[in-house]
Amino acid sequence: MGESSGSASVSVDVERISFGGKEHLVRTRCGSVTVAVYGDEDKPALITYPDVGLNYMSCFQGLFFCPEAASLLLHNFCIYHINPQGHELGAAQIPSDVPVPSVDDLADQVADVIDFFSLGSVMCLGVTAGAYVLTLFATKYRERVIGLMLVSPLCKAPSWSEWLYNKLLLNLLYYYGARGLVKECLLQRYFSKKVRGDAQYPESDIVQACKNLLDEKQGENIWRFLQSINEYVVRHLFLVLSQLELISGIWMLIWIPPPPGGMT
């Protein structure tokens, strides 16, 4: 773990920088997940869940590199970052004989994590696929959720063209991993065109860092998470959203439209 000196190095080495948190391996009814805990555990709990292909650091690094935001969050919350299975740094490929969890299973995993740390009601912060997992968790365990903060949440079922696009992406991801066209599709999902760079704007350091991190990911692990979300969203998204309307604690809803075909 080397020290970084300069903004470019900070971005590239983002996952290898220590922020004083402690990682735990939590056994759940659907396998083990890593959870990174930051802050005073006597404070109210904030649960985070990242998007497909990301872990807590690559997804929420902006909160850590912005002193004002980090100070505000840690002053008010103890943060529990949940990594999807196989998305933690250095994760091995999940064996092919391990069943792909349903998104219901992922929501139950969140409940198991809360039980592991003996938490009561929690705040939740999720991004896109992670926002959907936490939304489903909130509908299943309403008494355990104070409020939701959702970034680019899934607000409607995919059209046929989006469904076909995602099926193609899943197949490419399964056979070729997060490289080439698949990597570009994921980057379009994460970043705006301006941040990704073009003839007018240079590519952002954070985009290059994300490319490097995707190269290190196991494609099948990313495929499993995306498969869990896709299979459920097509059938049940409207039902989940209608149930969510009955929850009074939606604290904030941030809508950032995903790119075409990138709704899961």
The CATH code of the domain that includes 230 is 3.40.50.1820
pLDDT in tens, 81-106: 999 999 998 889 999 899 999 989 99
* DSSP assignment of 186-247: HHHHHS-HHHH--SSSPPPHHHHHHHHHHHHS-HHHHHHHHHHHHHHHHHHHHHHHHHHTT-
In one-letter notation, the amino acid at residue 20 is G
User: The dihedral of CA 111, 241, 103, 175: what is its sign?
Assistant: negative
Using the Cα atoms of residue 59, residue 60, residue 65 and residue 66 in order, give the sign of their dihedral: positive
The predicted-structure confidence for 196-230, as pLDDT tens digits, reads as follows 877 777 888 888 888 888 888 888 999 999 888 88
Structural domain including 174 reads 7-254
What is the domain count for the chain?
Answer: 1
pLDDT band at 40 (very low <50, low <70, confident <90, very high): very high
Q: Between these two residues, 217 and 244, which has the higher pLDDT value?
A: 217
Confidence (pLDDT) at 236? 53
Contact 228, 101 (CB under 8 A): yes
Residue 91 lies inside a defined structural domain of this protein: yes
Domain annotation covers residue 259: no
Question: Residue 217 domain-assigned?
Answer: yes
Does residue 182 sit within a domain?
yes
How much is the mean pLDDT over the chain?
80
pLDDT at res. 120: 93
234 vs 222: which has the higher pLDDT: 222
- pLDDT, residue 261, reads 45
Q: Is the pLDDT of residue 115 over 80?
A: yes
Question: Does residue 137 lie in a domain region?
Answer: yes
The rounded percent of the chain whose pLDDT value lies above 70 is 78
Q: What DSSP state is assigned to residue 128?
A: T
Q: How far apart are the first and last CA of the chain?
A: 34
**Distance in angstroms (rounded) separating the CA atoms of residues 79 and 23:** 12
Q: Which residue has the higher pLDDT, 114 or 253?
A: 114
Q: What is the pLDDT of residues 66-76, one digit of tens each?
A: 788 878 888 89
Q: If you count DSSP H runs as helices and E runs as strands, how many of each does the chain have, helices first?
A: 10, 7
Q: How far apart are CA 167 and CA 122, in angstroms?
A: 34
- What does the pLDDT read at residue 242? 52
174 found inside a domain: yes
Residues 246 and 148 sit within 8 Å (Cβ to Cβ): no
Tokens 């903060």 — which residue?
A: 149
Q: In the structure, what pLDDT confidence band is assigned to residue 113 with cuts at 50, 70 and 90?
A: very high
Distance of CA 24 to the CA centre of its chain: 17
